[in-house]
């Protein structure tokens, strides 16, 4: 499933290819994605000004005051192709832009979704309004986390994966940043000091930025080709390394299940306090 770094990578990949172009027409496979498709024709003739990311949504801002909000679900992929390129299997939406450019949306499992809203309605939109802070902002720090977690009796791992606290910290990135911050994933969230939470916030940013940078070098593959990127897999220090020696102390990494998700940690470096 695409996580925040992958979505950020897709945004980086699409920007130079489609920004500034005019949406001319659209077509679709006749199949719904997770929800029914919006009426793309309300943006025909409008220029795509800017693409950005909010949590795991891609936001396509048009100059007619409308925004296309797109979530890749489990298997969604964008491909930018010339107009003449034939339609492929699992291609569900094709947006034709000026300059011989089509944006194709392919999604094998069709868990992705897309909607349209007015710019003024974005922050109150049901997909956006309850989202927590973006982790790559300066406002995301120990003080912010302390405020959010002061009454939380859940584990810090589950709290970090809660979109109401902070968006885009998926299972892999939560495990990795807790390992680097030397915090046990089972530690009760409210018991952590502002200083420790600040260290955690710094590591979350670092892990996410590392993944985005790694993705940047394979951007064309990600946007244009099939298959999973897997580019960050080589950098895992804890995730997926059950029974392998900790890279800091050589003690075997342990695997536990927290909130139904696999968690990997070093029992020596990440002691419960």
State yes or no: residue 271 binds Zn ion (CB under 5 A): no
Number of residues binding to Zn ion, judged by CB under 5 A: 6
Q: Is 86 a catalytic residue?
A: no
CB closer to Zn ion, 67 vs 178: 178
Catalytic residue chosen out of the listed positions 2, 5, 135, 185:
2
Q: Is 185 a catalytic residue?
A: no
Contacts with Zn ion, 239-268, as mask; x by CB under 5 A: -------x-xx----------------x-x
Q: How far is the CB of 268 from Zn ion (least distance, A)?
A: 5
Q: How far is the CB of 203 from Zn ion (least distance, A)?
A: 15
Catalytic residue chosen out of the listed positions 53, 54, 56, 106:
56
CB closer to Zn ion, 190 vs 248: 248
Q: How far is the CB of 3 from Zn ion (least distance, A)?
A: 25
Q: Is 261 a catalytic residue?
A: yes
CB closer to Zn ion, 31 vs 251: 251
The 3-state DSSP composition of the chain as helix, strand, coil percent (nearest 5) reads: 30, 25, 45
Those residues whose C-beta lies under 8 Å from the C-beta of residue 154, and which sit 6 or more positions away, are 162, 188, 189, 259
CA distance 61 to 185: 38
State yes or no: residue 269 binds Zn ion (CB under 5 A): yes
Q: Is 180 a catalytic residue?
A: no
State yes or no: residue 237 binds Zn ion (CB under 5 A): no
Catalytic residue chosen out of the listed positions 21, 237, 261, 267:
261
At 231 the three-state DSSP class reads coil
Task: For 32-69, give one letter per residue: b (16+ CB within 10 A) or e.
Answer: ebeeebbebeebeeebbeebebbbbbbbbbbeeebbbb
CA distance 44 to 26: 8
CA distance 204 to 145: 12
CA distance 48 to 39: 16
HSE value, Cβ hemisphere, 13 Å, CA-based, for 230: 4
Active site residues: 2-3, 56, 261
Interface contacts to Zn ion, rule CB under 5 A = 246, 248-249, 266, 268-269
């Amino acid at each position: 499933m695409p996580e925040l770094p992958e979505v950020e990578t897709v945004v980086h990949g699409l920007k130079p290819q489609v920004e500034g172009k005019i949406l001319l027409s659209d077509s679709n496979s006749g199949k719904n994605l997770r929800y029914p498709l919006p009426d793309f024709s309300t943006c025909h003739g409008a220029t795509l000004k800017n693409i950005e990311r909010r949590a795991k949504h891609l936001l396509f801002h048009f100059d007619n005051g409308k925004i296309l909000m797109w979530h890749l679900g489990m298997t969604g992929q964008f491909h930018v192709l010339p107009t003449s390129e034939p339609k492929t299997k699992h291609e569900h939406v094709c947006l034709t832009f000026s300059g011989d450019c089509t944006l194709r949306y392919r999604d094998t499992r069709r868990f992705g979704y897309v909607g349209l809203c007015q710019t003024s309605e974005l922050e109150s939109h049901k997909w956006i309004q309850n989202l927590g802070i973006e982790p790559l902002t300066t406002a995301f720090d120990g003080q912010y986390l302390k405020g959010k977690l002061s009454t939380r009796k859940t584990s810090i791992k589950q709290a970090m994966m809660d979109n109401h606290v902070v968006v885009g910290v998926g299972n892999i990135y939560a495990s990795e940043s807790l390992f680097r911050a030397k915090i046990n994933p089972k530690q009760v969230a409210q018991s952590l000091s502002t200083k420790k939470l600040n260290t955690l916030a710094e590591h979350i940013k670092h892990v996410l930025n590392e993944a985005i940078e790694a993705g940047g070098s394979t951007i064309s593959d990600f946007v244009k080709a099939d298959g999973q990127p897997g580019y960050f897999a080589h950098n895992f220090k804890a995730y997926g390394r059950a029974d392998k020696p900790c890279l800091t102390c050589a003690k075997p990494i342990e695997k536990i299940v927290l909130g139904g998700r696999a968690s990997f940690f070093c029992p020596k470096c990440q002691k419960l306090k």
